[in-house]
Amino acid sequence: MSRIRVVIDTISLVRASTGIRTYTIELCKAAEEQSESGEIEYLIYPSWKKVDKFFFFGGDQHFFKRMLHHIFYFFWKQLILPIFCVLKKADALICPDYVLPLWKLNLLKIGVVHSPFFWEYPQHYNSIWLRYYVKMINAGFGGDSIISTTSEYTKQAISNYLKPKSPIEVVYQSPKHIQGISHEQIHDYLDLLHEKFILHVGYFDKRKNLSTLIKAFSEMLMNDSSLNIKLVLAGGRATGSSDDYDNVVKLVESLGLKSKVILTGYVSELELEFLYRRSLLYVFPSFNEGFGIPVLEAMGMGVPVIVSDSGSLREIGGDAVEVFSTFDERELSQKMAKLIKEDTQRKFLIEKGFERHRMFSRRDFLRQYEKLIISRIKD
């Protein structure tokens, strides 16, 4: 019996720099590790290693580049990718970046919808582009197709907006594997070697709710002047009107925290591992998150985690996280102080975190897709 042929579309890597990038690369690595075994043959197109090094469309774009990227993206999704699937006689196609080809094709189409951001925060996007993009998303889920989401929270949220005929299935992803680091490689972070700090990783997006974290951190220091703790915010600026970087800087200055809050900018994976391993705890205060990869990354590094009670964070963290009411600065301040001081609770969360992290393996990530595809095609 011939194997099922599944195409994984990696074109999002020419532009994606956050969650979609991690999702796509982890899925491709899982498919490569599966190799020649099993009922499914994976066709990764184009090579994720090559497209991930294509930087022309990356970073901040001027108008001409944005238009060129939109044109390229449209032709890829609606012409090049469908032709490739037909020529390779594919049985299924996975697009990790929301958009599927409009054509029904003679195969199973699976599109990944990571979050309801486009529908819930339209003010953060260009209105013309948003209408076009949302129509592309909706139109792709025709024929034999499945909507894949990253969490039950996202599944419930998008069902209110898409109202699709296609079934919605939850597929939990795996976090990226962060490599080891030596003392010779940490360079600019040497000044943190002997510091105690709380960590947050992510773009300076408004939905990350960093103002609540900063205010809670300030309150914690005011309540206990003996605490010699810093707050490290690692990550670059967000794009467009969702960028919150300037507001964060102003808030830090107004609270007199310039010497206590460190803004690292973009960090490499080596630098990121150093920050995780050296941090006292990780805080993720976001008020809307489709999955929350840093939560699992921190757990895998043995860092206790505090999350807000919004989005998917409680779902992903399970019983391995401390939870606070999303905009309650006082509650967050108290929970941070408690975790810094109480070794028993820290050890409990670290142990639970390792257990939770193991539940989101790369192999399980792929196995969920295989179960979906095999059951659907053989029915």
Question: Which carries the bigger pLDDT value, residue 89 or residue 57?
Answer: 89
The average confidence (pLDDT) of the chain is: 91
Range with the lowest mean pLDDT among 36-50, 103-117, 291-305?
A: 36-50
Residue 182 pLDDT greater than 60, yes or no = no
How far is it, in rounded angstroms, from Cα 39 to Cα 356?
Answer: 29
Average pLDDT over residues 310-331: 96
Domain boundaries, the chain: 4-174+361-378, 183-358
Phi-psi region of 231 (alpha: psi -120 to 50; beta: other; left: phi over 0): beta
Mean pLDDT within 346-367: 96
Decide if pLDDT at 60 tops 70: no
pLDDT score, position 365: 97
CATH of region 183-358, choose from 3.40.50.2000, 3.40.50.300, 3.40.630.30, 1.10.1740.10: 3.40.50.2000
Task: Determine the pLDDT at residue 184.
Answer: 53
Task: Indicate the pTM of the whole model.
Answer: 0.91
Average pLDDT over every residue of 106-123: 93
Parallel, antiparallel or unpaired: strands 196-201 and 281-284: parallel
Residue with tokens 């970087």: 245
In whole angstroms, give the CA distance from residue 332 to residue 326. Answer: 9
Reply yes or no on domain 4-174+361-378 having CATH 3.40.50: yes
pLDDT of res. 302:
95
- Give me the DSSP letters along 57-126: T-SS--HHHHHHHHHHHHHIIIIIHHHHHHHTT-SEEEESSS---SS-TTSEEEEEE--SHHHH-GGGS-
The pLDDT assigned to 166 comes to 87
Q: Evaluate whether 4-174+361-378 and 183-358 have a shared fold.
A: yes
Q: What is the pLDDT confidence band of residue 241, given thresholds at 50, 70 and 90?
A: confident
